[in-house]
Chains A and B, each alone.
Chain A
């Protein structure tokens, strides 16, 4: 007797709305085992996570704060993914965006009119990330260098630049050894809303999602990107300039992650400091693929993962379990959701050994 996966004649229609919740539930069950293992009551832990994320207005606002960079990083990875380009470098692009935006805030604030300050920082952040996306894009387009490797390695280069700057030339002289630059002048602070830490970055993220959606659905360029991703040879046949598109997609993709960097820097920290590279760029990969590369889904997934993180912090405080469990949960959800897709296209069959 053996168990075989058999491809369905037609993908099942009903699990489309059903598979993901079931997969998430399975992941939560696995998480329950983990909680059990560290000696916590799983049910109470999940209640705490939920309360931590949605229990109060302030808690939910923190969810949005955590979700903001994920939206932008998810869009960054997702846009490149549409073309089957693997941008693993959102983390480094985020950091470069932060650096360039911070440079504007720190050194140009006296030369720029107040109302232009924040737009200039956003542009600088976008360009910083775009530069960091351009490098792997250029190498891929012109020299066929694998962008997974180059974009990944540039993450470390960007992080070293970041450390060099805040430990070295940009260090806050009054900071007494704190690893970070001086505080930005107040004109360079992104506005926050409703007395919470929710800041302009959320609107930037939502706006970017809208733009990416529009570009993919309605523009010729977006159509070309989708064709390249779906059938490279047909794209050549249709005379789509693939190399130029790779370059542009990587530039825009890098720019989106760069926006995440400047939004974190100017919306939360108000300075360039340790902790900017906290893995949002990598979580962006998870977000993009859980959201099936669709901008709207990417927004939703970002907020849900933000909720998981905020809730994870909460159980750490109230139940003294490591907050890393929320990372483990995140991983489990990704695993189960992506793995669960298989049941839409395949059926499990138990076959008896036939002579």
Chain B
């Protein structure tokens, strides 16, 4: 059902877009249109083809089939620059900024112009644009000095500086605290009121209702529906199950049925730990907490507030500056065999994409499957086949490369592998990031099962995940523990949002 109220020429019209990649077809004949002056949400589970579609529109990819029209004119983009020339710009999930450059230098980067450069003028016009759209930022600051939210503002400024008419944002809210999201939405509305359009890629249903004029739901590379938000809002303002069903094609239940925690002995004791970040700044400033056996302890915060550094210190991949980390009353560096770590970066850290699944199963388990200097590949094979069955991993053979698995299946494989180590402490970092709802549920269930056997340290930026799973929640902001809140404490939970933004 598409809107019937359009006498206007759409700003962008995409017809029958097909885009194939080795092993997958990301878009299977997608029709999509963007009107002038609208915020159009592109909703779908991970892997639904949202980002691919927008990469096609912004010239990063060339479609295998299909046509595109900008203001009624047929176009074909060979590069992002072509798209920018037609007023289409995209902000990726991973920002494309030069860390050692200033804000203004990043904004002028790649802008065609005379061969002389007057940075004063650039800075002046950057300041002007940032005032107009409420994007507070110091144009002389270096990128590495900025928080993730500020870096996002630089990306937006860069697009506005280029005078784009279609601004595409790929999951912009996933890195932001609630307050920052509000101000991002404010900026989006200002852009819209000038008659420009914003494409908002997300898989968060609530945000979609709040901001969009139109919602297009993609599923498995096809458009399921394009609707007005009113049509999918319940009377009480919540999202209708209709929308979720469009996304996943079935009823989604996000209740995980967690048993209350029993009081057990303390397994992990983190005492006044400080850790340096990559740039030599103090990223973790004297954090203390304890995790008991049978507990899921969550560290919640907006990305970049020291969680990664803290986790790396706990799993001994980074040196700590001060404090003590004890596992079962021994220094943690002596108990590496009792820790399993599920890293956020599944393909960069948690697996070797170009190696077969079997070797990926052996990756952290190789000592367990070795006799002397030899690896017992037969035992690895049996174990791997067992895991694939037990964890419902869609993998046709053990010889296939890890990179051929979808994100969800790879994550289940890593999870399964780490569980086989029978760890006292399992550290799970953003374990469901980018997974679809089905895979997320399976991962959560696996974590809850593991909880019976040891302690789990869950690091997440996803409030829903934390509230569904955690017994206790530590909110981290700028390297400090704002507070530790019990998962049962209703009043405490309301404070989490402000705490994440640094307000006590």
What residues on A are CB-neighbors of B349 within 8 Å?
233-234, 236-237
Give the residues from 42 to 97 in chain A that come closer than 8 angstroms, CB to CB, to chain B: none
Is B432 an interface residue, CB under 8 A from the partner? no
Cα–Cα, bound, A63→B373 (Å): 36
One digit per residue, 1 when the CB lies within 8 angstroms of any chain B CB and 0 when it does not, for chain A 210-225 equals 0000000011110110
Of the candidates A8, A218, A219, A236, the one whose C-beta lies within 8 Å of that of B317 is: A236
Cα–Cα, bound, A42→B352 (Å): 48
- Tally A-B pairs: CB < 8 A: 68
Cα–Cα, bound, A218→B362 (Å): 12
Interface bin, chain B: 20 to 34
Q: Is the CB of B21 within 8 A of A9?
A: yes
Give the residues from 330 to 385 in chain B that come closer than 8 angstroms, CB to CB, to chain A: 336, 341, 343, 345, 348-355, 359, 362-364, 366-367, 370, 373-375, 377
Query: Which residue of chain A lies nearest to B360 when distances are taken between CB atoms in the complex?
Result: A234
Q: Is the CB of A10 within 8 A of B352?
A: no
Q: Is the CB of A219 within 8 A of B350?
A: no
State the main secondary structure of chain B at its contact with A.
loop
Given A9-B22, A218-B375: A231 in contact with B317 (beta carbons within 8 A):
no
Q: B132 → chain A, closest Cβ, in Å?
A: 35
Of the candidates B317, B348, B352, B367, the one whose C-beta lies within 8 Å of that of A227 is: B352
Q: Is the CB of B374 within 8 A of A8?
A: no
Query: Which residue of chain A lies nearest to B355 when distances are taken between CB atoms in the complex?
Result: A230
Q: Is the CB of B348 within 8 A of A231?
A: yes
Cα–Cα, bound, A165→B22 (Å): 58
Q: B370 → chain A, closest Cβ, in Å?
A: 5
Q: Is the CB of A220 within 8 A of B373?
A: yes
Query: Which residue of chain A lies nearest to B367 when distances are taken between CB atoms in the complex?
Result: A220
Is A226 an interface residue, CB under 8 A from the partner? yes
Is B23 an interface residue, CB under 8 A from the partner? yes
Is A354 an interface residue, CB under 8 A from the partner? yes
Q: Is the CB of B375 within 8 A of A10?
A: no
Q: Is the CB of B23 within 8 A of A10?
A: yes
Given A218-B375, A221-B373, A237-B341: A231 in contact with B23 (beta carbons within 8 A):
no
Q: Is the CB of B353 within 8 A of A231?
A: yes
Residues of B within 8 A of A (CB): 20-23, 74-76, 317, 336, 341, 343, 345, 348-355, 359, 362-364, 366-367, 370, 373-375, 377
In the A-B complex, the 7 residue pairs with the closest CB atoms:
A231-B352, A354-B76, A230-B352, A237-B349, A9-B22, A238-B363, A219-B373
Chosen A-B contacts, 23 in total, with CB atoms closer than 8 Å, are A7-B22, A10-B23, A218-B375, A220-B366, A220-B367, A220-B374, A221-B373, A226-B355, A227-B352, A227-B355, A227-B363, A230-B354, A231-B348, A231-B352, A231-B353, A234-B351, A237-B350, A237-B364, A239-B336, A239-B364, A354-B76, A355-B74, A355-B76
